[in-house]
Homo-oligomer: A and B are copies of this chain.
Amino acid sequence: MKALIIAAGKGDRLGLTDKPKSLVQLLGLSLIERVILTAKQAGINEFIVVVGYLGDKIRAELGNGERYGVKIDYIENEEWQRENGVSVLKAKELLKEKFILLMTDHLFEARILNDLKKIKVNGCVLCVDKVPKEYIDLEDATKVKVENDKVVEIGKRLEEYNAIDCGIFLLSPIIFDALEESIEKGDELLSDGIRILAKKGEVRAFDIKDSFWIDIDTRDSFRKAEKMLCDRLIKPTDGPVSKLLNRPISIRISKFLVKTELKPSSISFISFILATLAAFFFCLGNYLSIVIGGLLTQFSSIVDGCDGEVARLKFQESEYGAWFDAVLDRYADALIIFGMVYGHWALYNNALIWVIGFITLIGCFMNSYTADRYEAAFRRGKIRAGVRRDVRLFLIMIGALFNQIFYTLIFLALLTNIESMRRLIILKDNKI
């Protein structure tokens, strides 16, 4: 299925002078790049972009879409100062089958399109938000009245409404006739065309429920979009230290990193280098070095969150990236434990620390191994983990600050091995 993207407008309210709204950068990607890459996640690979105001800049930026792994064609709308219905109508000759219609300034979650694509109806479908999120600017939104899943009325000034137009459509070519009819009457908005079809009962409403979407019209909504995208980086599986300490910091760092060319796998590597440095300082064994080692350990743990965040924000997630990050994390864990053991042994020459270090290393590895092997074996969901890496590394920092390497290792050895035993037992009972 093809997607038509309307990117002809100027976007006055964002206060732009030198570029079209489509090219406004939001967390390392332009708005239109975000729309295209989101649609690509939902399996859409062919796009027709209607350009107008500074259209050449958009063409120069996106090209034929090759570098995004998609195909992009362009339609020029020289009458871009007219309303958006005119832009949609320009695509009439190119779209003879069902297509997706998107707005360059409406960001959304891929699952909306995934669901929308699956709907089997003859007419048109409009995505609506029945319980508008608090970040939606209601005053500026296009309102919709829905009855029995059908759109019965649509417009900005609607007094009686029960949903908001999300600017995401599944359309059949009948929309073009409707637009011609409404434009002839002087009503040039896309919603004027939709209204004509709605009166005929041809427009179904699809409730996006709690999926994310936002219309970026003003500086305020721009900031809200940025915040929303960042908030969505927090994973429900994040451990307590990650949630309270690491994420707030790592997201700030990622907001900077997305503007650079740094790849997620390079960030994974930086986190690994930080851990290696931490291990080196632990090896030195004196209190100052141990404190530095502890702080570097925690910093490495924080940066370890950035690779995934940048990957998600820039649509660069990959299976290799996830694997590479996990493998480096295991080496980092091992190096840090080795450093702690070696530094302590060099100072006190107590061989017992090696035995404890061995047990700690086994425990830490097994915590990661049991969780990841679980995913390989069960191919669904994640293990219910009691202790994760965020907690382990945080404990190492705390232990280092108090100069208690010996007891930190003993505590970690117990904690991690007990956690592994717990997993062997709960999984055996649940058989899940």
Which A residues are closer than 8 A to B by beta carbons? 318-320, 322-324, 326-327, 330-331, 334, 338, 341-342, 345, 351, 354-355, 357-358, 361-362, 365-366, 368-370, 372-379, 420, 424, 427-428, 431
A372 CA to B323 CA, complexed, in Å: 10
Complex interface: chain B residues within 8 A of A357 (CB) = 354, 358
A206 CA to B127 CA, complexed, in Å: 48
Select from chain B the residue with minimum beta-carbon distance to A371.
Answer: B376
Q: How many copies does the complex hold?
A: 2
A354 CA to B338 CA, complexed, in Å: 10
Complex interface: chain B residues within 8 A of A420 (CB) = 327
Select from chain B the residue with minimum beta-carbon distance to A354.
Answer: B354
A376 CA to B379 CA, complexed, in Å: 7
Known: A331-B362, A369-B369, A373-B372. A378 touches B323 (CB 8 A): yes
A351 CA to B365 CA, complexed, in Å: 23
Complex interface: chain B residues within 8 A of A326 (CB) = 369, 373, 377
Whether A330 lies near B365 (C-beta < 8 A) is: yes
Select from chain B the residue with minimum beta-carbon distance to A383.
Answer: B323
Q: Name A373's contact: one of B318, B327, B361, B366 (CB within 8 Å).
A: B327
A87 CA to B365 CA, complexed, in Å: 59
A323 CA to B376 CA, complexed, in Å: 9
Whether B320 lies near A366 (C-beta < 8 A) is: no
Whether B431 lies near A320 (C-beta < 8 A) is: yes
Select from chain B the residue with minimum beta-carbon distance to A349.
Answer: B351
22 A-B pairs, CB-CB below 8 angstroms? A319-B377, A319-B379, A320-B428, A323-B370, A323-B427, A324-B424, A324-B427, A324-B428, A327-B369, A327-B373, A327-B424, A334-B358, A338-B358, A338-B362, A341-B354, A341-B358, A345-B354, A351-B351, A354-B357, A358-B358, A369-B372, A372-B376
Complex interface: chain B residues within 8 A of A320 (CB) = 377, 427-428, 431
- In addition to A324-B424, A341-B354, 6 A-B residue pairs with Cβ atoms within 8 Å of each other are A322-B377, A323-B370, A326-B373, A331-B362, A334-B358, A368-B369
A420 CA to B377 CA, complexed, in Å: 21
Known: A354-B354, A431-B320. A369 touches B365 (CB 8 A): yes
Select from chain B the residue with minimum beta-carbon distance to A379.
Answer: B379
Complex interface: chain B residues within 8 A of A378 (CB) = 319, 323
A289 CA to B396 CA, complexed, in Å: 38
Q: Name A351's contact: one of B324, B354, B377 (CB within 8 Å).
A: B354
Whether B424 lies near A366 (C-beta < 8 A) is: no
Complex interface: chain B residues within 8 A of A427 (CB) = 320, 323-324
User: How far does the Cβ of A190 sit from chain B's closest Cβ, in whole Å?
Assistant: 41
Complex interface: chain B residues within 8 A of A375 (CB) = 376
Among A324, A372, A376: residue with most chain B CB under 10 A: A376
User: How far does the Cβ of A420 sit from chain B's closest Cβ, in whole Å?
Assistant: 7
Select from chain B the residue with minimum beta-carbon distance to A423.
Answer: B327
**Ordered nearest first, which 4 A-B pairs have the shortest CB separation?**
A375-B376, A354-B354, A323-B377, A376-B376
User: How far does the Cβ of A334 sit from chain B's closest Cβ, in whole Å?
Assistant: 5
Known: A377-B323, A378-B323. A334 touches B355 (CB 8 A): no
Whether B369 lies near A330 (C-beta < 8 A) is: yes
